[in-house]
Structure 1
Amino acid sequence: MSAAPTFPPLLTGVAVVPGEDPFEKACAMAALGCDGGTVVHDLRVDRMRMAAVFAPEVVLEQAMAMLPVCGIGFQNALGALAPPEVAVHLTWEGGIRVNGARCGRMRVTAAQDAPDAVPDWLVVGIEVPLIQTEADPGLTLDITALRDEGCAELDAVELLESWARHMLVWINRWEEDGNAPVHAEWMGLLTGVGAPVERGGHSGTFLGVDDRFGMLIRDSETTHLVPMSSLVGETR
């Protein structure tokens, strides 16, 4: 692993002290008024964690696009650095899957959770295991780590830097063209479409997402919408 990561001009990196959670640190910094574009990170031998602070200028339901934007950025970054046989997919609620197995997660929270209000800040966090730390990884076949999936030579600093660059690319596309390109890219990475699902008090078939990335669930009578803003704070 190389030294300190280098970020594009619009982003500022902040390394946590040992024992700190980058997501919680980012939330605390955002509450104190840090600039949007702050990326808090913790890179260890066995895992990498990072969290980005955003300063939305739109209501929460629109700002939630930053969750798929960060996920797409991570998939693009890992795709650029990992061997070509490594497949990365995302779940609607923020799960990361590598070659079909669970490999980390994303989470999101904001200063306010009202969907129609502009939040003072929004934070998206990503954590990914590099090495499995379970006593017997063979007992958890649905859980994996990047090194187990052909990424033994992957440098966490390079992955963090690549994620930052790809994330900025997708933020720019979102700002210029709206949700459409993000929606199209994310749908190609989304797992679970067509499968049974329970979410937001509804159960049925996961049909896909609407134009604001809300989950569409079809039961025997109708289609229900679970807005993406319902994820705010869910896994904090």
Structure 2
Amino acid sequence: MMQSPQFPPLLTGEAVPRHMDPFAKAVSRAIAGVDSGTVFYSEGPDTLHAALVLAPETPLEEAIQAVYVAQVGLAESLGALAPPEVPVHFQWPDRIKVNGAVCGSVRFAADVSDPKACPNWLVIGIDVPFIPAGDEPGANPNETCLHEEGCVDITPMALLESWSKHTLLWLTYFLDSGFERVHNEWRPRCDTLGKTIEYPKPGLFVGLDEKGRMLLREGVMTETVSLIEFAEHV
């Protein structure tokens, strides 16, 4: 019998059957009014699927910055559990990279899309593969999984427990002192910062502004791209 994961104070966990998507479950329960701080997760051994429900008290353009909080929480939890030589990076807007290859993603949804509107709920999900999806390890060199990167001793439930603790800690920092501290922690882990990128648009990724929007320079023009554009429609 698999032991239930332990969650920090202020967060509660709710397992969903393996055939169900915890993110979709979190959204449906958020619409119905579930408590903020509920984490929905599945107990499969091959991938960690989890989603956290939040009830922001700020406009969406501020609330969406919690997506970076979840990314930092995931990087810190992997850093705590993985061998010390395993680097964890971000690829804007939603990819997690381990040893330079994509190893999971973050997803998010809210009940509003207007940056100035205050959402009733915000759901942030993570998906992290532990074993290869296909038969051939290394078939796609741009994608990986934790077991291929030497993290064979980590279990999905251990990562879930660690992610919930680190994310709650960084949510506290974020609520207490705003985005700057989160930004300072996030920035060094973004491996496309300062580089010319093709996605979501071609240009030079020069950084994030104070609202967490991508600053993308092309020629003499700099435009902003918001995470809000990448929220899932529910």
- Provide TM-score, normalisation by structure 2: 0.96
1:85-234 residue pairs with structure 2 within 5 A?
85-198=85-198, 202-233=201-232
Write the distance in 2 (CA, Å) between the matches of 1:77 and 1:94: 17
Opposite residue 208 of structure 1, the aligned amino acid is G
1:20-99 residue pairs with structure 2 within 5 A?
20-99=20-99
Deviations 1:160-215 (A, max 9, x none): 11111111110111111111100100101112112223456x53111111111100
Instruction: Please list every run of at least 4 consecutive aligned residues from structure 1 whose deviation after the TM superposition is greater than 4 angstroms.
Output: none
Opposite residue 14 of structure 2, the aligned amino acid is V
1:152 CA displacement: 0.6
Deviations 1:123-145 (A, max 9, x none): 00000000002122232111110
SS at match of 1:138: coil
2 and 153 in structure 1: CA distance in 2 versus 1, 3 angstrom threshold: farther
Deviations 1:44-67 (A, max 9, x none): 121111000000000000001110
Opposite residue 212 of structure 2, the aligned amino acid is F
Opposite residue 154 of structure 2, the aligned amino acid is L
1:37 CA displacement: 0.2
Write the distance in 1 (CA, Å) between the matches of 2:119 and 2:145: 34
Contact 1:2–1:157 (CA<8 Å) still a contact in 2?
no
Consecutive unaligned residues of structure 1, counting only runs of 5 or more, are none
Query: Is residue 14 of structure 2 the alignment partner of residue 14 of structure 1?
Result: yes
Contact 2:137–2:148 (CA<8 Å) still a contact in 1?
no
SS at match of 1:125: strand
Contact 1:40–1:51 (CA<8 Å) still a contact in 2?
yes
Contact 1:60–1:115 (CA<8 Å) still a contact in 2?
yes
1:113 CA displacement: 0.8
Q: State the aligned residue count.
A: 234
43 and 199 in structure 1: CA distance in 2 versus 1, 3 angstrom threshold: same
Deviations 1:13-45 (A, max 9, x none): 010112100100000000000011010001312
Superposition CA RMSD, Å = 1.5
1:91 CA displacement: 1.6
Consecutive unaligned residues of structure 2, counting only runs of 5 or more, are none
1:2 CA displacement: 4.9
Same amino acid, percent of matched pairs: 41
Write the distance in 1 (CA, Å) between the matches of 2:161 and 2:138: 32
Query: Is residue 1 of structure 2 the alignment partner of residue 5 of structure 1?
Result: no
Contact 1:199–1:226 (CA<8 Å) still a contact in 2?
no
Opposite residue 215 of structure 2, the aligned amino acid is L
